[in-house]
Amino acid sequence: MDKYQILKKYFGYDTFRDGQELLIDSILSGRDVLGIMPTGAGKSLCYQVPAMLMDGITLVISPLISLMKDQVGALNQAGIHAAFLNSSLTVGQYYKALDYARQGRYPIIYVAPERLVTEEFLDFALHADIAMVAVDEAHCVSQWGQDFRPSYLKIVEFIKKLPKRPVVSAFTATATKEVRDDIMDILLLEDPEVLTTGFDRPNLYFGVQAPKNKYEVLKNYLEMHPGECGIVYCLTRKGVEEVCGKLREDGFSVTRYHAGLGDGERKRNQDDFIYDRYQIIVATNAFGMGIDKSNVRFVVHYNMPKNMESYYQEAGRAGRDGEPAECILLYGGQDVVTNQLFIDNSQDNRELDQVTREMVAERDRERLRKMTYYCFTNECLRDYILRYFGEYGENYCGNCSNCLSQFETVDVTETAKALIGCVKSSRQRYGTTVIIDTVHGANTAKIRNYRMDENPNYGELAKVPTYRLRQVINYLLLNEYLTVTNDEYAVVKLTAKSEDVLAHGAQVTMKMAKEQEHTSGEKKEKKSRKGPAAGVTGAEFTEEDEKLFEVLRGLRTEIAREEKV
């Protein structure tokens, strides 16, 4: 049989998708590969098809038991003998599976990474013909990746022990350069074929809103999408319980998923959603890895996730069938605080030394910041996402809340000058809030304490509302006219581009949503009402929002705690 016959016979497909063939051919020619493809692109086939054509066994390393079960179940249903070896087996089952493996019954075996270098497994592997080690979710080897698993480091240890080096193939949906380099370095890939397929998902609409009342907005949204399947992500288990409970009371067909539920209920709820017995699942980020449900029409983030990687992965579960689908993020200042707390109290990196841990926390803060900018950018959201992952999009996609709201190009040079000037005149010692308050001429205790009321830029732009100053400073940060330190203080610093504005007459222009025209009678509602597809562009921040921003901009955990998380 050749690869096309395998594809047809076992998987029932006639053609390969973008990139699959190249990776399969490389593997079959004995070359290592790294496949970077978005969720849903079809990475599994890239190692499953060659596994059926190679002499010897393919070991697939996967981080989650549920993922292994799903895939092994699907393979067996398709008529491919496959097994998994992980902690969900009893000792008896485990030895039996190993025994069958020894007899060569399985072309494909899924193994949990921590099993690889155990005595029993090595005893098998050292005497077997291992043709390929396929590393799924390979970003787990990277400490800069969002789901670093120390046990993934055992993969290389294992490969080194083998008498004959197998082909090593690695797959991930995380496209950042750091992670990609880490995968190649840590897994010791040899001259790999690296394939990145485009990350854009044109059928997905992206929207951001910052509503006062998230639940109302969610409810309205769901009412406008009757009969559609979707996921609502919350940051915490408590959030899941609350939102799911309210939706149920309001009569929606909804179930829930988080790590606090028992195995049985989790599985049941997941299946209820997958098999359309419930339309909506409210879940934490524990839900979704490896889930293959094609008709998810919307993914609503009830809270902002911790970084763009998580966001795009979770949002990307919408529209896998290629039909139009929507990804809506409901931003609230509290989300920043909660994420900040997660970072400061992270238990994930306990095994790392102090210095590395601090580095990881710094990266996480930087990622959180970029995620937050996403919620505030006035530019095309798709473009923002693609740029984050190192691709170039166009400035205008026409299918995101920013592109669909009305833009105008505004010259903000004067505002930029004042803000940058203030950073300079106060000798680069303060966070954004102090800078904004100074330029705005606020009379707060902090301003008086730091004597910023004596600063030459004090009150220079008293007439510009603080939300506008915030938008401009975000824009300056985003475009490297200014930068902030990565520590918890997030001090604003000058960059090489700062002087262009201050001294060399560079103009700064920014695309901003037009202040919406309101017909008579609607005027009073201006602040509180936003249509479902409206972005946060032009949103006015309350004092409360501003306070929460301050947390993002560098106040410490203690203060965040006082905000009663």
Q: Kindly state the greatest CA–CA separation across the chain.
A: 82
Q: Is 317 in the site for ligand ADP (CB under 6 A)?
A: no
Provide, rounded to whole angstroms, the least separation between the CB of residue 109 and ligand ADP. Answer: 18
Provide, rounded to whole angstroms, the least separation between the CB of residue 282 and ligand ADP. Answer: 22
Query: Considering CB distances under 5 to 8 angstroms, the limit depending on partner class, which of Mg ion, ligand ADP, none binds residue 39?
Result: ligand ADP
Provide, rounded to whole angstroms, the least separation between the CB of residue 299 and Mg ion. Answer: 17
Provide, rounded to whole angstroms, the least separation between the CB of residue 20 and ligand ADP. Answer: 6
Provide, rounded to whole angstroms, the least separation between the CB of residue 51 and Mg ion. Answer: 15
Q: Could you give the string, one character per residue 336-375, with x where binding to Mg ion holds by CB under 5 A and - elsewhere?
A: ----------------------------------------
Contact partners, residue 347, CB within 8 Å, separation at least 6: none
Query: Considering CB distances under 5 to 8 angstroms, the limit depending on partner class, which of Mg ion, ligand ADP, none binds residue 37?
Result: ligand ADP
Among 27, 36, 45, 328, binds ligand ADP (CB under 6 A): 45
Among 24, 33, 34, 39, binds ligand ADP (CB under 6 A): 39
Cα–Cα dist 37/194, whole Å:
11
Query: Considering CB distances under 5 to 8 angstroms, the limit depending on partner class, which of ligand ADP, Mg ion, none binds residue 471?
Result: none
Query: Considering CB distances under 5 to 8 angstroms, the limit depending on partner class, which of ligand ADP, Mg ion, none binds residue 45?
Result: ligand ADP
Q: Could you give the string, one character per residue 81-110, with x where binding to ligand ADP holds by CB under 6 A and - elsewhere?
A: ------------------------------
State which residue, 37 or 380, has the beta carbon closest to ligand ADP: 37
State which residue, 7 or 343, has the beta carbon closest to Mg ion: 7
State which residue, 40 or 421, has the beta carbon closest to ligand ADP: 40
List the beta bridge partners of residue 513.
407
State which residue, 288 or 305, has the beta carbon closest to ligand ADP: 288
**Which residue is at the shortest CB distance from Mg ion?**
43
**DSSP structure class, residue 484:** E
Query: Tokens for 315?
Result: 């949002």
Among 292, 453, 500, 540, binds ligand ADP (CB under 6 A): 292
State which residue, 37 or 232, has the beta carbon closest to ligand ADP: 37
Provide, rounded to whole angstroms, the least separation between the CB of residue 24 and ligand ADP. Answer: 10
Q: Is 69 in the site for ligand ADP (CB under 6 A)?
A: no
Provide, rounded to whole angstroms, the least separation between the CB of residue 75 and Mg ion. Answer: 13
Contact partners, residue 390, CB within 8 Å, separation at least 6: 175, 176, 177
Provide, rounded to whole angstroms, the least separation between the CB of residue 295 and ligand ADP. Answer: 12
Inter-CA distances, 72 with 67, 99, 108, 152, 350, Å: 8, 17, 9, 20, 32
Q: Could you give the string, one character per residue 8-27, with x where binding to ligand ADP holds by CB under 6 A and - elsewhere?
A: -----x--xx--x-------
**Which residue is at the shortest CB distance from ligand ADP?**
42
Provide, rounded to whole angstroms, the least separation between the CB of residue 37 and Mg ion. Answer: 9
> Cα 47–48–53 angle (5° rounding)?
95
Q: Is 288 in the site for ligand ADP (CB under 6 A)?
A: no
Q: Could you give the string, one character per residue 156-195, with x where binding to ligand ADP holds by CB under 6 A and - elsewhere?
A: ----------------------------------------
**DSSP structure class, residue 9:** I
Q: At which residue do the structure tokens 């907005």 appear? A: 217
Closest CA to 362 of 175, 480, 483, 488: 488
CB 231 within 8 A of CB 237: no
Among 10, 26, 42, 501, binds ligand ADP (CB under 6 A): 42
Q: Cα 511 to the chain's mean position, in Å?
A: 25
Restricting to residues 3-62, name those near Mg ion by CB under 5 A: 43
**DSSP structure class, residue 8:** I
Query: Considering CB distances under 5 to 8 angstroms, the limit depending on partner class, which of Mg ion, ligand ADP, none binds residue 458?
Result: none
State which residue, 303 or 313, has the beta carbon closest to ligand ADP: 313
Cα–Cα dist 515/406, whole Å:
8
Burial bucket for residue 288 (CB in 10 Å: 0-12, 13-18, 19+): buried
Q: Give residue 543's identity as a one-letter amino acid code.
A: E
Among 24, 27, 33, 44, binds ligand ADP (CB under 6 A): 44
Cα–Cα dist 188/338, whole Å:
37
Cα–Cα dist 110/67, whole Å:
10
> Cα 393–38–532 angle (5° rounding)?
65
State which residue, 137 or 545, has the beta carbon closest to Mg ion: 137
State which residue, 20 or 457, has the beta carbon closest to ligand ADP: 20
CB 329 within 8 A of CB 301: yes
Cα–Cα dist 423/438, whole Å:
10
CB 234 within 8 A of CB 283: yes
Inter-CA distances, 188 with 169, 192, 273, Å: 11, 10, 40
Provide, rounded to whole angstroms, the least separation between the CB of residue 316 and ligand ADP. Answer: 9
Among 33, 36, 40, 535, binds ligand ADP (CB under 6 A): 40
Q: How many helices (H) and strands (E) does the chain have?
A: 23, 17
Cα–Cα dist 183/135, whole Å:
10
Cα–Cα dist 300/303, whole Å:
9
Query: Tokens for 370?
Result: 């970029």
Number of residues engaging ligand ADP in binding (CB under 6 A): 13
Provide, rounded to whole angstroms, the least separation between the CB of residue 71 and ligand ADP. Answer: 8
Cα–Cα dist 224/218, whole Å:
10
State which residue, 137 or 437, has the beta carbon closest to ligand ADP: 137
**DSSP structure class, residue 140:** G
Cα–Cα dist 51/54, whole Å:
5
CB 257 within 8 A of CB 282: yes
Query: Tokens for 418?
Result: 């004042």
Number of residues engaging Mg ion in binding (CB under 5 A): 1
Query: Considering CB distances under 5 to 8 angstroms, the limit depending on partner class, which of ligand ADP, Mg ion, none binds residue 41?
Result: ligand ADP
- Give the interface with ligand ADP as residue ranges (CB under 6 A): 13, 16-17, 20, 37, 39-45, 292
Residues lying near Mg ion in the complex (CB under 5 A) are found at 43
